[in-house]
Homo-oligomer: A and B are copies of this chain.
Amino acid sequence: MTKNTNIRISLPIVCFVWQIAMIILFGVFIRYNEESDTHWIEHKRKNNISSHIENDFYYRYASFQDVHVMIFVGFGFLMTFLKRYSFGGVGFNFLIAAFGIQWALLMQGWFHHLDHEDWKIKIGIENLINADFCVAGCLIAYGACLGKVSPVQLMILTLFGITLFAVEEYIILELLHVKDAGGSMVIHTFGAYYGLTISWILYRPRLSQIKNLQASVYHSDVFAMIGTLFLWMFWPSFNSAIADHGDGQHRAVINTYLALAASVLSTFAISSLSKKYGKLDMVHIQNATLAGGVAMGTAAEFMIMPYGSLIVGFCTGIISTFGYMFLTPFMERTLKIQDTCGIHNLHAMPGVIGGVVGAISAAAASETVYGSEGLINTFDFKDANRTVNMQGAYQAAGLCVALAFGIVGGALVGGILKLPIWGDPADINCFDDDVYWELPEDEDENIPASIHSNINHVRNMQPEVYRSNL
């Protein structure tokens, strides 16, 4: 089986054509909203807004930048853990996120923010945050495929991922009127099952025999900790970024902060318990410590109470770590799902738990706890008929929609990506930056050439030669 990994034509074409399409579509559809337009000063006077500080920008910009860091540094560096795929981890993450946010502004705009007077989408800071959120779903999916797909495939995965996301989000948030500020369902459940289904379809049976590159080295693990920590620290901003002004954002931060803290302790406990001498496993620390943030995505805004957040974080930390220990190998062996970053443990399970926690806590909401105004405010009840019980049921329905979109969408897109024209690597070239990147010479150039000869020989061969060798 030989594979052509030459992307010298396909990648530039995809980037150029899609970027030019973005420019045209933006030209037709996208304008500034009243808070980012020079007419703001008139709008402000007309609506009796007392001060510039009431511009939504000042409510959300700090959170936006934190989310932005999570998307580009958080996800990007978390994926640098492989010994020879750090360029691909952080670099392709950069590429698809930069494309995805543009496409998301359009897709989400058409569904949520189309002004039916002039058929324009009016964007402001909240749209930028939502675009970042939308991209997060695709980056999660990338985690399952890390090292096994070409950048062209990733661009396609992103194009369809964003499209599916926008439809799914429209159904869940607008039609079902479900609350999901931090996206346990909309982002994490969808993104994870989308990626896992794609990975299942792209299953590489012989990979386990030759995957010596699917491992970390000391320094690549430290690089990955940069990603972990920026995700962990800024997750409170993620879950609060588009929450209600005032107490909504405030409470979402507190809940997420606490859930994350509890996840760290349960992850360290289970990780230590699982290994000889109680030694800790970096894979667990890098990933499962984040499970609490995922699981608080839906309920962060609710009055789940500080101890409730701790319980959620505590349990998901345990479940996620067990997932890395038992489920990931089981899935690879038995279900034929190869999940490079273990997104099933970090996003799929905690995302589903988050959806369930959200449904339960919505159904259990009461005027005693929330206050009558607070209840209406928090769940944004416009319709007098909807009760908290119904809200709980709708939340559960939303979770099912996210799952369905992830699995069905992933199957479709996986089928497209299986076509042999996208330049994906042969099994032996997986997890190797050498396929898609010009690599610098080796670090230890001070070692005599003779010692290097072996590896150099292999490395200098062109991908074509690799393949025939296989």
Chain B residue numbers with a CB within 8 Å of A61 are 62-63, 249, 253
11 pairs, CB–CB < 8 Å, chain A vs chain B: A8-B277, A22-B262, A37-B247, A38-B370, A52-B59, A83-B440, A98-B265, A123-B254, A218-B439, A277-B462, A442-B446
Which listed segment binds B: A200-208, A306-314, A336-344? Answer: A306-314
Q: How far is the CA of A151 from the CA of B303 in the complex (A)?
A: 34
Given A9-B278, A268-B15, check contact A39 B440 (CB 8 Å): no
Interchain nearest-CB distance for A435 vs B (Å): 8
Q: How far is the CA of A229 from the CA of B369 in the complex (A)?
A: 43
Closest to A289 in B: B94
Given A251-B36, A451-B447, check contact A215 B16 (CB 8 Å): no
Interchain nearest-CB distance for A50 vs B (Å): 7
8 interchain residue pairs of minimum CB distance: A38-B374, A8-B278, A98-B264, A40-B247, A15-B269, A52-B246, A27-B307, A26-B307
Chain B residue numbers with a CB within 8 Å of A423 are 278
Q: How far is the CA of A270 from the CA of B95 in the complex (A)?
A: 13
Task: Flag A446-470 by CB within 8 Å of B: 1 or 0 each.
Answer: 1110011011000000110000000
Q: Number of A interface residues, CB 8 Å?
A: 151
Say yes or no: is A57 at the interface (Cβ < 8 Å to chain B).
yes
Q: How far is the CA of A26 from the CA of B255 in the complex (A)?
A: 12
Given A7-B272, A125-B250, A371-B38, check contact A438 B282 (CB 8 Å): yes
Q: Are B32 and A254 in contact (CB under 8 A)?
A: yes
Among B36, B98, B226, B378, contact of A250 (Cβ-Cβ < 8 Å) = B36
Closest to A15 in B: B269
Q: How far is the CA of A38 from the CA of B201 in the complex (A)?
A: 46
Interchain nearest-CB distance for A295 vs B (Å): 15
Interchain nearest-CB distance for A244 vs B (Å): 8
Q: Are B250 and A124 in contact (CB under 8 A)?
A: yes
Query: A23, A66, A99, A311 — which one has the most chain B CB atoms within 10 A of its CB?
Result: A23
Task: Flag A233-249 by CB within 8 Å of B: 1 or 0 each.
Answer: 11011000000011101
Q: How far is the CA of A102 from the CA of B258 in the complex (A)?
A: 7
Say yes or no: is A160 at the interface (Cβ < 8 Å to chain B).
no
Say yes or no: is A117 at the interface (Cβ < 8 Å to chain B).
no
Q: Are B42 and A373 in contact (CB under 8 A)?
A: yes
Among B57, B87, B217, B273, contact of A440 (Cβ-Cβ < 8 Å) = B217
Task: Flag A168-189 by CB within 8 Å of B: 1 or 0 each.
Answer: 0000000000000000000000
Say yes or no: is A257 at the interface (Cβ < 8 Å to chain B).
yes
Task: Flag A350-389 by CB within 8 Å of B: 1 or 0 each.
Answer: 0000000000000000000111011101100000000000
Given A269-B11, A272-B7, A282-B438, check contact A237 B65 (CB 8 Å): yes
Q: Are B52 and A51 in contact (CB under 8 A)?
A: no
Q: Are A272 and B11 in contact (CB under 8 A)?
A: yes
Among B250, B277, B375, contact of A5 (Cβ-Cβ < 8 Å) = B277
Q: Are A38 and B94 in contact (CB under 8 A)?
A: no
